[in-house]
A and B are shown apart, each in its own frame.
Chain A
Amino acid sequence: MEYILKNGIVYDPANNIAGEKKDVMFKDGKIVENVSSDAKVLDVADKIVMPAGIDPHAHVAGPKLVVGRLYRPEDSRKGVTSKTDVCRSESGFSIPSCPATGYRYSRMGYGTVTEAAMPPLEAKHTHEEIMAIPNLDITPLPLFGNNWFVLQWAKEGKIDEIAAFISSWLKITKGYGIKIVNPCGTEAWGWGGNVHGIDDPVPYFDVTGREVLRALAQANEILGLPHSIHVHPNDLGHPGNFPTTVNTLDCIKDIEKKSSVRDQTIHLTHAQFHSYAGTSWRDVESGAGEVADYINKNKHVTCDIGQVTLDETTTMTADGPMEFDLHQLNGLKWANKDIELETGSGIVPFIYSGKAPVSSFQWAVGLELFLKINDPWQVCLTTDHPNAGPFIRYPRIISWLMSAERRQEMMDNNEVRVWSYKRTSLGTLDREYDFNEIATITRAAPARIYGYQDRGELTPGFNADIAVYDLNPDTIDPSKEPAAIEKAFGNAMYTIKDGQILVKDGEIVKIVPSRTLWTNVQGFEEQEKAVMEEVMPTFTRYYTVKFENYKVHDHFAPNPLVTTVQAGK
């Protein structure tokens, strides 16, 4: 099937196209340079055309999600919709059901989403949920930062073993890259403790976050993985944590990048939660300036923000101890799941309210980071869904970034409290994002950061993943019309995925099954064999499942998109 999107205003940052009126053509699921006269014409005259959205960090599929849904029926009840001819019924506000997740991203023009934290022992569960989410390509990142094997080898400096382990485990779990959450902290939580800063050794294993970060970063480059290490640093959410963040980014700086498909060697996730100065919630101030400064000066770093949206939401991360602290702070019901030999997680509902000083402060810190980091190729738009807010708020965040007036209005109207400008420099920042920068932080940058070679751009040969928004960039002034910006980005005029029209005028018109993106490392077979021999005795003695039953069987990923890399190349 051939299509031509006619006369749209195209934003394709990877190809340096920033608001050019041009046609976009696709055939049989791929972008092409030409189509025949038989091509179906879609009139998108003067409408914004971009690659489909790519979310580099969200929690959408896996065990934590189910615990969240199970223990928050009051959240499930909030988002219930009736089934239609095309869609099944939806549920959930901050934790949507799997069908709802697919539909809601699709309506916003998104095509690819990362599931940011997959525990290897329960990877099959993540893949089951991916199968239940329609209309998206999903990239799971397995967790390694508190894995007993990794901790031991990191202590011993055995980087090659770690590399072989990662190479094996990506195949076993069908994962894309290396996710690190509160390195050493979640293992300390196995005893009810935590670590502070990157040089605090974890009990028994006696290894520090710094050592784990360096070991995994080196392993990542030895394998030449398409993505860099993806890091949720220690000390999340604590006033005075920005030095830990900067140290985390700095401690791997010397490690040489061995991949040509990306620019960074470390991706910092939900940076907002890691950018606080001060010493307590009484004297807390923004540390966004320091963090942004470091990122501006260091091209080996990329980040996503984790912007607070001022909603009642649910926090869920693999940072078990942080979640317990949060529960002690707000008294709301706490869930926890520790996973043998591997990792842990915690869940607590949270209400970010514009009436609360702390929430207002956090809201401002996120925006500060967006506005102070100069290069949009180093920044991605996320809310760490659902932690800082549900992903359906991305259009609202876009409207804030594009309108200094709106931000000021919120501060003037008491929609947020005074801490938003008294404890941060947000009140002094009048930078406004333009559509090109928005396209960068929501499409082009995430694609490059993940090393995707088939999406994020409207380059011939790439997937025909395209979004069209009902906005005329020549006539609309985003700084004056935030509501219109939010509405348009929330209801795509077209969402096209692999050349199929899935959404028209904000309504789902077609359902397609999701696909799973994972990385298959070749050329490491000998090392993998050797490392498995080392792993097996421990596995057999201390896990509670048999190794044969541990892996993710092929039928759990019936639509895989495998990226093959040659180790060491």
Chain B
Amino acid sequence: MAYEPPVTDYDEIVENCTCAFCGCNCDDLDFLVKDGHVVGVRHACRLGASKVMEDMDQRLLVPMIRDENGDLQEVDWETALDKAAELIAGAVRPIFYGWSETSIETMKHGIRLGELVGAVLDNQATICHGPSLQAVQNAGYPVATLGEVKNRADMIVYSGSNPMNSHPRHMARYSTFPRGWFRQRGRFDRTVITMDPKYSDTAKMSDIWVGFEQNGDYGFYNAIRAALKGKEIDQDFVSGIPKEDIMELAESMKNVQFGALYFGLGLTHTLSKQRNIDMAIEMLVDLNEYTKWVLTPMRGHFNVNGFNIFMAYEMGFPYGVDFCRGYQRYMNGETNTIDLLTREECDVFMVIAADPGAHYPGGAVKRLAEIPVIQVDIHWGPSTEIADVVLPGSFIGVECAGTSYRMDGVPIYMKKAIDKPETCRDDEWIIRELHERVQKIKAEEAATASK
């Protein structure tokens, strides 16, 4: 890594900005601004800093519509919005997906549009921590804010999660390194355990690495629970871990003062999916009979939790909410985006603040390529390659203020530090415009029908 000298040429510092990358929502960022651009970022990790600093990299600046030859042509806002509204109003099984990198204020308009046309509203949880939410729905949700862990925890367990790569400041600002009220020696007052088939970067700096077998999560946690209940483990190895290690682990987890479990896609996406987390949650509840344990899923986007919270308070369900029958329904496997795409039911797809082109399984992307796709985003990406209408939005937390919810549910209002490019619009404005235009189309249809 080459040495880069500190940035000294800036006009002003906007303090206490919030990072728009992962679910840590670090709100202590200082943006160094010059000529209306952020030229330096203090306190962010490389992921957050790069997102802010590279805000103009492959930036979408002008609305576009794909023509008959398959090329994206620049158009004005009126044309693009009208085209998008027309597509949405005419759809029989529309999906509005994404939302995790835009603001709650934008979602408020999105849900109204979804209710109006009878769409499915879904977010990245459907490909990410959806299984965690499903597990929570069966097994419970014993969580705590990040500060509780910072101040009290003497054992941190990362399972199926590699924060050194995915949430770089998680250990630095929140869980492990900071000096907490009751843990004044920071790292030295805590034991860090990584449970992960991979010897990840996080495992490398943990005190203990438990490398159980791939797909062995459910069996492994079940064995720990059996050990907690006092059973002598029968098999010599469970999921590749020697039985003595399992019993020792169970014992040490019982004997801490305050333990915290953070988990990620290693649990949500291997064989037993939501049952891995189900089992882990129940294990944690067992542990609470002896001592204090909490957990939190490592949410990957700064507002993925925000969408789930927003949908829950508006409509009672966290994601995959289907309005097609005039009321909300939530049924995993039926009202989720991937299933609707692989079953080729979705006929119009709007993606906002997400990149399905990059993140979806191949079968789903294939369907996206076949149907009209409306993209509201700030950067060109694989989704732009399959989009038919492109609406350039603004960067929440940098160019536009907005409310977000951290991985532990703490709400943070993200500041605006610079102006957005003139040709772009706020996400909130875009969705509100679409809503109004679709309302107009529907009203016209109703008037025609009643004649």
A interface residues, Cβ below 8 angstroms from B? 63, 65-67, 69-73, 76-77, 79-83, 88-89, 91-92, 95-100, 121-122, 124-125, 128-129, 132, 148, 190-192, 204, 324, 327-328, 333-341, 344, 347, 541-546, 548-549, 553, 556
Question: Looking at the complex, which one of B27, B138, B148, B180 makes contact with A546 (CB distance below 8 Å)?
Answer: B27
Determine the chain B residues whose CB is within 8 A of the CB of A553 once the complex forms: 413
Q: Mark B135-159, 1 if CB is under 8 A from A, else 0.
A: 0111111111111101110000000
A-chain residues with CB within 8 Å of residue B174 when the two chains form the complex: 544
When the two chains form the complex, which single residue of B258, B403, B405 contacts A191, counting CB atoms closer than 8 Å?
A: B258
Measured between beta carbons, the chain B residues less than 8 angstroms from A124 are 403, 411, 413
Does the CB pair A125–B405 fall under 8 Å?
A: yes
Q: Shortest beta-carbon distance, A444 to chain B, in Å?
A: 31
Instruction: Report the Cα distance A211→B61, complex, angstroms.
Output: 61
Is the pair B141, A336 in contact by a Cβ cutoff of 8 Å? Answer: yes
Taking CB atoms, residues of chain B closer than 8 Å to A125 are: 309, 405, 409, 411
Question: In the assembly, what is the distance between CA of A553 and CA of B402, in Å?
Answer: 11
Q: Considering the chains assembled together, what is the distance between the CA atoms of A121 and B27 in angstroms? A: 14
**Is the C-beta of B316 less than 8 angstroms from some C-beta in chain A?**
yes
Query: For residues 116 through 142 of chain B, which have their beta carbon under 8 Å from a beta carbon of chain A?
Result: 133, 136-142
Q: Do residues A340 and B150 form an inter-chain contact, with CB atoms below 8 A? A: yes
In the complex, residue of chain A having the shortest beta-carbon distance to the beta carbon of B175: A544
The 14 sampled A-B contact pairs (Cβ below 8 Å) are A67-B141, A76-B317, A76-B330, A82-B325, A89-B327, A122-B410, A128-B411, A204-B182, A333-B140, A334-B142, A339-B148, A340-B145, A340-B147, A347-B141
Q: Contact check, B316 vs A76: say whether CB atoms are below 8 A apart.
A: yes
Enumerate chain B residues within 8 angstroms of A83, measured Cβ to Cβ: 115, 326-327
Q: Does B294 contact A (CB under 8 A)?
A: yes
Closest A residue by C-beta to B116: A83
Instruction: A95 to B313: give the CA distance in the assembly, Å.
Output: 10
Interface string of B400-414 (1 = CB under 8 A from A): 000101000111110
CB contacts under 8 Å to A, within B53-90, are none
B18 nearest in chain A by CB position: A549
Whole-angstrom CA separation of A82 from B438 in the bound complex: 20
Please give, as numbers and ranges, the residues of chain A lying within 8 Å of B142 by CB-CB distance: 334-336
B151 surroundings in chain A (CB, below 8 A): 340-341, 542
Query: Is the Cβ of A97 less than 8 Å from the Cβ of B315?
Result: yes
Q: Which 3 pairs across A and B sit closest by C-beta, in order of nearness?
A: A340-B147, A76-B316, A91-B316
Q: Does B423 make an interface contact (CB < 8 A)?
A: no
Segment from B33-41, B222-230, B264-272, B284-292 that makes contact with A: B284-292
Q: In the assembled complex, which residues on chain B have CB atoms less than 8 Å from the CB atom of A80?
A: 316, 327-329
Asked if B257 is an interface residue, CB under 8 A from chain A, the answer is yes
List which B409-423 residues lie within 8 A (CB) of chain A. Answer: 409-413
B313–A544 touching, CB < 8 Å:
no
B308 within 8 A of A: yes
Q: Point out the residues of chain B lying under 8 angstroms from A66, CB to CB.
A: 309, 312-313, 409
Contact in complex: B28, A192 (CB < 8 Å): no
Contact A544 B147, beta carbon cutoff 8 Å: yes
Which of B143, B146, B329, B411 lies at the interface centre, i.e. has the most chain A CB atoms within 10 A of its CB? Answer: B411
Is A544 a contact partner of B137 (Cβ separation < 8 A)?
no
Q: How far is the CA of A339 from the CA of B409 in the complex (A)?
A: 10
Contact A92 B146, beta carbon cutoff 8 Å: no
Question: Is B173 engaged at the interface, CB distance under 8 Å to the other chain?
Answer: yes
Using CB atoms, name the residue of chain B closest to A89. Answer: B327
- Is the Cβ of B294 less than 8 Å from the Cβ of A336? yes
Q: How far is B309's CA from A67's CA once the two chains are assembled, in angstroms?
A: 8
Nearest CB of A to B429, in Å: 16
Asked whether A549 and B412 contact (CB < 8 A) given A71-B140, A191-B152, A338-B294, the answer is yes
Roughly how many angstroms separate A509 CA and B145 CA in the complex, as a whole number? 41
Judge whether B315 and A340 touch: CB under 8 Å: no
List B contacts of A95 (CB < 8 A): 316
Do the beta carbons of A129 and B313 come within 8 Å of each other?
yes
Residues of A within 8 A of B314 (CB): 97-99, 132
Please tell me if the beta carbons of B141 and A335 are within 8 angstroms of each other in the complex.
yes
The one of A88, A122, A327, A549 in contact with B413, judged by C-beta atoms closer than 8 angstroms, is: A549
Partner of B292, one of A91, A191, A335: A191
In the assembled complex, which residues on chain A have CB atoms less than 8 Å from the CB atom of B28? 546
Whole-angstrom CA separation of A70 from B139 in the bound complex: 12
**A190 and B317 contact, CB distance less than 8 A:** no
Instruction: Judge whether B115 and A549 touch: CB under 8 Å.
Output: no
Alpha-carbon distance A66/B318, docked complex (angstroms): 9
Whether B141 pairs with A128 at a CB distance below 8 angstroms is no
By CB atoms of chain A within 10 A, which of B182, B288, B313, B326 has the most? B313
Q: Give the chain B neighbours of A541 by CB distance below 8 A.
A: 179
B426 CB-CB contact with A under 8 Å: no
B15 within 8 A of A: yes
B341 within 8 A of A: no
B104 at the interface (CB under 8 A from A): yes
**Which of A63, A67, A70, A556 gathers the greatest number of chain B CB atoms within 10 Å?**
A70
Instruction: Closest B residue to A133 by CB, please name it.
Output: B313
Is B181 located at the chain interface by the 8 A CB criterion? yes
B215 within 8 A of A: no
Minimum Cβ distance to chain B for residue A545 (Å):
5
Q: Which residues of A contact B141 (CB under 8 A)?
A: 67, 70-71, 335-337, 347
Contact with A along B158-187 (1 / 0, CB 8 A): 000000000000000110000111100000
Closest CB in chain A relative to B130 CB, distance in Å: 12
Q: Is the CB of A333 within 8 A of B147?
A: no
- Least distance between A314 CB and chain B CB atoms (Å): 12
Contacts of B342 in A (CB 8 A): none
Nearest opposing residue in chain A for B136, CB measure: A71
List chain B residues, Cβ under 8 A from A72. Answer: 137
In the assembled complex, how far is the CB of residue A527 from the closest CB belonging to chain B, in whole angstroms? Answer: 25
Complex Cα spacing A97 to B325, Å: 18
Looking at A82, A121, A122, A549, which has the most chain B CB atoms within 10 Å of its CB?
A549
Q: Which interface residue of A82, A125, A327, A336 has the most chain B CB atoms within 10 A?
A: A336
Q: Which residues of A contact B180 (CB under 8 A)?
A: 542
Cβ of B16 within 8 Å of any chain A Cβ, yes or no, is yes
CA distance A324 to B310 in the complex (A): 27
**Distance in angstroms between the alpha carbons of A549 and B405 in the assembled complex:** 12
**A48 CB, min distance to chain B CBs, angstroms:** 33
| Contact assessment for A337 and B143 in the assembled complex, using a CB-CB cutoff below 8 Å | yes
Contacts of B143 in A (CB 8 A): 67, 335-338
| Shortest beta-carbon distance from A78 to chain B in Å | 10
Q: How many angstroms between the C-alpha atoms of A336 and B284 in the bound complex?
A: 12
CB distance from A243 to the nearest CB of B (A): 28
Q: Would you call A98 and B147 a contact (CB within 8 A)? A: no
* A128-B294 in contact (CB<8A): no
In the complex, the answer to whether A81 meets B327 with C-beta atoms within 8 Å is yes
CB contact between A333 and one of B138, B288, B294 (< 8 Å): that residue = B138
Cβ-defined contact, B133 with A341, below 8 A: no
Determine if A544 and B312 form an interchain contact, defined as CB atoms under 8 angstroms apart.
no
* Interface residue from A81, A191, A549 paired with B257 (Cβ < 8 Å): A191
| Inter-chain contact B181/A542, CB cutoff 8 Å | yes
